[in-house]
Structure 1
Amino acid sequence: MTTTGTAAHHEAAQRWPAVRPHLSSFDPDAFVRPVDRFVWEPVQVPYTGPESDRPLAGRRLLLVGESAGLVAAVAERLGERGALVVRSDPDTALRTDGWDGIVDLNVMGSTYELGDTLWQPALTRTTEAIRSAYQRWVTEPRFGRHVYLALTHLGGLAGHGEGEVPQPLGGIWAGLAKCLPRELPAAGIVVVDLDRADPASIAEAVEREYVRPEHFEVGYREGLRHVLVGHPAPLGPPDRHVPDEHAPGMPPGKHAPGPDDTVLITGGARGVGFAAARAFAETFGCRVVVTGRGERPAADEVSALGDEGFAAWRRRRLAQGRTPRELALVRREIHRAQEDRTVCRNLTGAEADGLRIDYLRCDCTDAAQVEQAFAALGEGPEFVIHNAGIDDPARFDRKTAESVVRTVDVKVTGFANLVAAVLARPERRSRLRLLSNVGSLAGRMGGMVGQIDYAAGNEALARMGFWARDNLGLPVQTLCWPTWERLGVIANYSAAVRYVSTLDPAEGARRWVEELSSGHTDEAVFLGRIGAVLAPGQLRGFGLLTGHPDLPRLHALDHHLGEVEEYEIFRSLRSTTRLRAGQHPCLSEVRVDAAPAVPVSVALEHAVAAGDWVVPEGWPLLHLRELRNLQVHLGGLRFTGEHLTLHREARGGYTDGEWCVDVTIRGAEGTDIAAVTLVYGDRPAERTRTTVPVDDGASSRPAARSGRLSWSGVVFPEKPADRSEGGLRIDLPPVEPADLWTVPFPPDPTLAPAAVEAIVREVDRHSVRDAACTLTVRRLVLCPGAQRVEHLHATVGLDRWTGTREGVGVLLAEGVRLRD
Structure 2
Amino acid sequence: MIPAAEAAPAGPRWPALRPHLSSFDPDAFVRGVGRFVWEPVEAPRPLPGTGRPLAGRRLLLVGESAELADAVGAALERRGAHAVPYTPGRELRRDGWDGIVDLNVTGTTYAAGDTGWRPALARTTRAVQAAYPRWAAERRFGRHVYLAVTHLGGLGGHGAGPVPQPLGGVWAGLAKCLPRELPAAGIVVVDVDRAEPEVIAEAVARELPQPGDFEVCYRDGRRHVLAGRPAGDAPPPGAAPPGPGDTVLVTGGARGVGFAAARAFAETFGCRVVVTGRHERPSSEGPVMLDDAAFTRWRRGRLATARTPADLSRVRREVRRAEEERTVHRNLAGAEADGLRVDYLRCDCTELPQVEAVFAALGDGPTHIVHNAGVDEPARFDRKTAEEVVRTVDVKVTGFAHLVRSVLARPERRARLRLLSNVGSLAGRMGGMVGQADYAAGNEALARLGFWARDTLGLPVQTLCWPTWERLGVIANYAAAVRYVSTLDPADGARRWCAELASGHTGEVVFLGRVGAVLSPGQLRGFGTLTGHPDLPRLHALNHYLGEVEEYEVFRSLSGTLTLTAGSHPCLSEFRVGPDLAVPVSVVLEYAVAAGDWVVPEGWPLLHLRELRDLRVELSALRFDAGTLVLCRTARGGYRGEAWCVDVVVETGAGVRAASVTLVYGDSPAVQEGGTVRPGDRDGGCAGSARVPAAGTGPDWAGLVLPEADASAGGADASLLLPEVRPADLWTVPFPPAPTVDPAAVEELVRAACRRPRDAGTGTFGVRRLVLAPGAQRVEVLTPEDGARRWAGSRGGAVVLRAEGVGAAGS
Same structural fold, with TM-score higher than 0.5 when normalized by the shorter chain = yes
The equivalent residue for 1:80 is 78
CA change 1:253–1:205 in 2 (3 A) is: closer
Asked if structure 1 preserves the Cα contact closer than 8 Å seen for 2:21 and 2:774, the reply is no
Cα distance in 2 between the residues matched to 1:430 and 1:95:
55
- Correspondence for 2:515 among 526, 530, 539: 530
Question: Match of 1:74, SS?
Answer: helix
Q: CA deviation at 1:23?
A: 10
Worse overlay, 137-146 or 728-737:
728-737
CA change 1:237–1:310 in 2 (3 A) is: closer
The equivalent residue for 1:116 is 114
CA change 1:23–1:357 in 2 (3 A) is: farther
CA change 1:305–1:569 in 2 (3 A) is: same
Cα distance in 2 between the residues matched to 1:384 and 1:215:
34
Worse overlay, 771-780 or 145-154:
771-780
The equivalent residue for 1:249 is none
Matched, 1:714 2:697: no
Worse overlay, 696-705 or 63-72:
696-705
The equivalent residue for 2:562 is 577
Matched, 1:672 2:662: no
The equivalent residue for 1:595 is 580
Asked if structure 2 preserves the Cα contact closer than 8 Å seen for 1:28 and 1:497, the reply is no
CA change 1:417–1:28 in 2 (3 A) is: farther
Question: Match of 1:717, SS?
Answer: coil
Q: CA deviation at 1:95?
A: 5.5
CA change 1:476–1:621 in 2 (3 A) is: same
Cα distance in 2 between the residues matched to 1:193 and 1:426:
35
The equivalent residue for 1:33 is 31
Q: CA deviation at 1:320?
A: 1.8
The equivalent residue for 1:212 is 210
Q: CA deviation at 1:768?
A: 5.3
The equivalent residue for 2:793 is 803
Q: How does 1:445-460 map to 2 (within 5 A)?
A: 445-460=430-445
After superposition, the C-alpha distances for 1:77-127 in whole angstroms (9 at most, x for unaligned) are 111111111211479676665522100000011000111111000000000
CA change 1:699–1:439 in 2 (3 A) is: closer
Worse overlay, 313-322 or 652-661:
313-322
Matched, 1:779 2:769: yes
Matched, 1:760 2:760: no
Q: Amino acid of the residue matched to residue 108 of structure 1?
A: T
CA change 1:449–1:25 in 2 (3 A) is: farther
The equivalent residue for 2:551 is 566
Worse overlay, 105-114 or 314-323:
314-323
After superposition, the C-alpha distances for 1:278-304 in whole angstroms (9 at most, x for unaligned) are 001011111110001111111223111
Cα distance in 1 between the residues matched to 2:317 and 2:806:
63
Asked if structure 1 preserves the Cα contact closer than 8 Å seen for 2:638 and 2:645, the reply is yes
Cα distance in 1 between the residues matched to 2:766 and 2:30:
43
Cα distance in 2 between the residues matched to 1:86 and 1:24:
52
Asked if structure 2 preserves the Cα contact closer than 8 Å seen for 1:435 and 1:475, the reply is yes
Cα distance in 2 between the residues matched to 1:669 and 1:70:
47
The equivalent residue for 1:467 is 452
Matched, 1:704 2:694: no
CA RMSD of aligned residues (A): 2.0
CA change 1:92–1:699 in 2 (3 A) is: closer
CA change 1:341–1:696 in 2 (3 A) is: closer
Q: How does 1:677-696 map to 2 (within 5 A)?
A: 677-688=662-673, 692-696=677-681
After superposition, the C-alpha distances for 1:590-639 in whole angstroms (9 at most, x for unaligned) are 00112100000000000000000000001111010000010001111111
Asked if structure 2 preserves the Cα contact closer than 8 Å seen for 1:64 and 1:125, the reply is yes
Matched, 1:611 2:559: no
Question: Match of 1:761, SS?
Answer: helix
After superposition, the C-alpha distances for 1:239-281 in whole angstroms (9 at most, x for unaligned) are xxxxxxxxxxxxx553211111111110000000000100010
Asked if structure 1 preserves the Cα contact closer than 8 Å seen for 2:110 and 2:167, the reply is yes
The equivalent residue for 2:3 is none
The equivalent residue for 2:631 is 646
- Correspondence for 1:384 among 360, 369, 373: 369
- Correspondence for 1:287 among 247, 272, 279: 272
Cα distance in 1 between the residues matched to 2:501 and 2:549:
44
Asked if structure 2 preserves the Cα contact closer than 8 Å seen for 1:65 and 1:106, the reply is yes
Q: How does 1:47-446 map to 2 (within 5 A)?
A: 47-48=45-46, 51=49, 53-89=51-87, 99-234=97-232, 253-446=238-431
Cα distance in 2 between the residues matched to 1:783 and 1:19:
17
Cα distance in 2 between the residues matched to 1:236 and 1:490:
26
The equivalent residue for 2:7 is none
Q: CA deviation at 1:695?
A: 4.3
Q: CA deviation at 1:500?
A: 0.5
Cα distance in 2 between the residues matched to 1:451 and 1:704:
64
Q: Amino acid of the residue matched to residue 795 of structure 1?
A: E
Cα distance in 1 between the residues matched to 2:535 and 2:327:
36
Cα distance in 1 between the residues matched to 2:367 and 2:233:
22
Q: Amino acid of the residue matched to residue 692 of structure 2?
A: R
Identity, % of aligned positions: 69
The equivalent residue for 1:750 is 740
After superposition, the C-alpha distances for 1:702-722 in whole angstroms (9 at most, x for unaligned) are 723236111111001224424
Cα distance in 1 between the residues matched to 2:25 and 2:387:
37
Cα distance in 2 between the residues matched to 1:22 and 1:447:
26
Q: Amino acid of the residue matched to residue 436 of structure 2?
A: Q
Question: Match of 2:289, SS?
Answer: coil
Q: Amino acid of the residue matched to residue 811 of structure 1?
A: L
Q: CA deviation at 1:25?
A: 11
The equivalent residue for 2:723 is 733
List gaps (5 residues or longer) in structure 1. Answer: 1-17, 239-251
Q: Amino acid of the residue matched to residue 88 of structure 1?
A: Y
List gaps (5 residues or longer) in structure 2. Answer: 1-15
Matched, 1:816 2:806: yes
Asked if structure 1 preserves the Cα contact closer than 8 Å seen for 2:59 and 2:84, the reply is yes
Cα distance in 1 between the residues matched to 2:807 and 2:457:
74
Question: Match of 1:698, SS?
Answer: coil
The equivalent residue for 2:5 is none
Question: Match of 1:329, SS?
Answer: helix
Asked if structure 2 preserves the Cα contact closer than 8 Å seen for 1:23 and 1:532, the reply is no
After superposition, the C-alpha distances for 1:781-809 in whole angstroms (9 at most, x for unaligned) are 00011100001001233210000101110
Question: Match of 2:728, SS?
Answer: helix
The equivalent residue for 2:4 is none
Question: Match of 2:275, SS?
Answer: strand
Cα distance in 2 between the residues matched to 1:736 and 1:328:
60
Cα distance in 2 between the residues matched to 1:416 and 1:69:
27
Q: Number of residues paired by the alignment?
A: 790
Q: CA deviation at 1:51?
A: 4.3
Q: Name the TM-score, length of structure 2 as normaliser.
A: 0.95
Q: Name the TM-score, length of structure 1 as normaliser.
A: 0.94
Question: Match of 1:227, SS?
Answer: strand
Worse overlay, 413-422 or 787-796:
787-796
Worse overlay, 755-764 or 579-588:
755-764
Q: CA deviation at 1:543?
A: 2.1
CA change 1:720–1:592 in 2 (3 A) is: same
After superposition, the C-alpha distances for 1:399-457 in whole angstroms (9 at most, x for unaligned) are 00000000000000000000000000011010100000000000000000000000000
Asked if structure 1 preserves the Cα contact closer than 8 Å seen for 2:100 and 2:146, the reply is yes
Q: CA deviation at 1:700?
A: 7.5
CA change 1:695–1:514 in 2 (3 A) is: closer
Q: CA deviation at 1:776?
A: 1.1
Q: CA deviation at 1:323?
A: 1.5
After superposition, the C-alpha distances for 1:446-473 in whole angstroms (9 at most, x for unaligned) are 0000000000000000000000000000
Question: Match of 1:373, SS?
Answer: helix
